[in-house]
Amino acid sequence: MTRKLYEETPAPLAFTARVTGCEPDQKGYRVTLDATGFFPEGGGQPWDLGTLNGIPVTAVVVQGEEIYHLLPQPLEPGTPVEGIIDGERRLDHCQQHTGEHILSGTLHRLFGANNVGFHIGQPYVRMDLDLPLTTEQLAQAEAQANTVIRRDEPVKVWYPDPEELEALEYRSKKALEGPVRLVEIPGADRCACCGTHLERTGMVGIIKIISAQNYKGGVRLEVACGGRAIPPIQDWYRQITALSGLLSAKVPAVEQAARRMAGENQELKGQLAQLTALLIEAQARDALPGTVQVRFCEGLNPDGLRRLCLALAQRSGALSGAFAAGAQGTHYALALPGGDVRPLAAGLNQRFSGRGGGTPNLCQGCLTQGTPQAIKEYMEELSHADAI
């Protein structure tokens, strides 16, 4: 059994040990030691990285009682080794893990929510809680969790004896067998945990909830602690500053300005729909029955063209086309009541380098060449063709 140096306080970032085993593996060699400072993957926390005698450690996993270090090169059993842990990665994991304990403990104390899932992922930590929580509740818990950081509380980690454990209340995700390791943060949390932690809460720096969504009757959070909280906050700041400029509103008034703009947008859409309906009605009014209809109607979008074309076809009972200039070319809608308009649309596409298609009743597309006059003349020609 390997001595777990990473459970000591403070956990060493450099250590010496002896190789107890080395076996080939698909990706290299699995090396066991009599003692290790490398935290293996467990409890939602990824493994440590670093080196053993200068050889990179690519993964650390626990299987049964053994901790295996995955290396690209073998190490002879009995060899003394010097282990060096990647300190930045360890600090990041400790910040995320200790921060998660503070936030989970706070959510449990305030609202009775239980953490039922935890994973230190990238770029954020994922936390699943078993109760739905409002934005206000999450904001309250986040604020309280950050006061625990500012109080710079000591983080106590120990294995209580069975009587002491019996008398203590603590959070735990599952029924535990064997010795239970507790992590306690005064005034915030007491939890059974195998992970590495900071010595004091102040080193967490900051806890920021990044997102919350309903999940399995509860809520799934994305959380960033310490150094991970800065990039999203900087990104939000950049975005809100840009929005402030776009909306000509000071930052605290951006939401109000955006809501006002959304309201105005809705109103304008309503007005546009009314005017489009009037325009289509006016354009279709003089369509004589039995005569080919061609309209160039600037300002209509493809949906407006479709509606105008169908209105013309309904009035005339004959080949009808509606056209309007767009960014890519001349948009069109083509209809032929009681016939198949697709060959005519294909002819139009070919004549004016366009593309588009549709059903026998209605085709839509866009032409990249042709003046309104040329298109009109082509449509008149079509009206005399035998096909119609």
Could you tell me which stretch among 193-201, 319-327, 330-338, 356-364 binds Zn ion (CB under 5 A)? 193-201
Show the binding pattern over residues 283-322: x = contacts Zn ion (CB under 5 A), - = does not: ----------------------------------------
Closest approach of Cβ 242 to Zn ion, in Å? 38
Instruction: Please identify, using beta-carbon distances, which residue of 195 and 321 lies nearer to Zn ion.
Output: 195
Residue 52 and residue 34 in contact, taking contact as beta carbons nearer than 8 Å: no
Distance, CA of 108 to CA of 7 (rounded, Å):
26
Closest approach of Cβ 197 to Zn ion, in Å? 8
The tokens of 331 are what? 């948009």
Closest approach of Cβ 100 to Zn ion, in Å? 7
H or E stretch including 90? helix 87-111
Closest approach of Cβ 199 to Zn ion, in Å? 15
Closest approach of Cβ 104 to Zn ion, in Å? 8
Count of positions on this chain that bind Zn ion (CB under 5 A)? 2
Could you tell me which stretch among 130-138, 195-203, 262-270, 356-364 binds Zn ion (CB under 5 A)? 195-203
Instruction: Please identify, using beta-carbon distances, which residue of 44 and 365 lies nearer to Zn ion.
Output: 44
Closest-CA residue to 348 (of 372, 367, 320): 367
Closest approach of Cβ 101 to Zn ion, in Å? 6
Q: Cis bond leading into 80, ω under 30°? A: no
Distance, CA of 113 to CA of 98 (rounded, Å):
18
Residue 260's alpha-carbon distances to 236, 248, 249, 268, in angstroms, are: 21, 12, 11, 12
Could you tell me which stretch among 150-158, 161-169, 187-195, 287-295 binds Zn ion (CB under 5 A)? 187-195
Out of 50, 195, 365, 370, the only residue in the binding site for Zn ion (CB under 5 A) is 195
Residue 375 sits at φ, ψ, to 5 deg, of -65, -40
Locate tokens 């449509």: which residue? 379
Which residue number has the CB closest to Zn ion? 193
Residue 142 and residue 221 in contact, taking contact as beta carbons nearer than 8 Å: no
Out of 193, 292, 294, 322, the only residue in the binding site for Zn ion (CB under 5 A) is 193
Could you tell me which stretch among 163-171, 190-198, 206-214, 377-385 binds Zn ion (CB under 5 A)? 190-198
Closest-CA residue to 312 (of 304, 274, 387): 304
Closest approach of Cβ 115 to Zn ion, in Å? 9
Instruction: Please identify, using beta-carbon distances, which residue of 194 and 249 lies nearer to Zn ion.
Output: 194
Instruction: Please identify, using beta-carbon distances, which residue of 98 and 276 lies nearer to Zn ion.
Output: 98
Locate tokens 């893990």: which residue? 97
Residue 282's alpha-carbon distances to 78, 102, 169, 261, 275, in angstroms, are: 95, 68, 78, 31, 10
Instruction: Please identify, using beta-carbon distances, which residue of 83 and 195 lies nearer to Zn ion.
Output: 195
Residue 162 and residue 79 in contact, taking contact as beta carbons nearer than 8 Å: no
Length of the chain: 388
Distance, CA of 29 to CA of 31 (rounded, Å):
6
Residue 313 and residue 340 in contact, taking contact as beta carbons nearer than 8 Å: no
204 touching Zn ion, by CB under 5 A:
no
Closest approach of Cβ 222 to Zn ion, in Å? 17
Residues engaged in binding Zn ion (CB under 5 A) = 193, 195
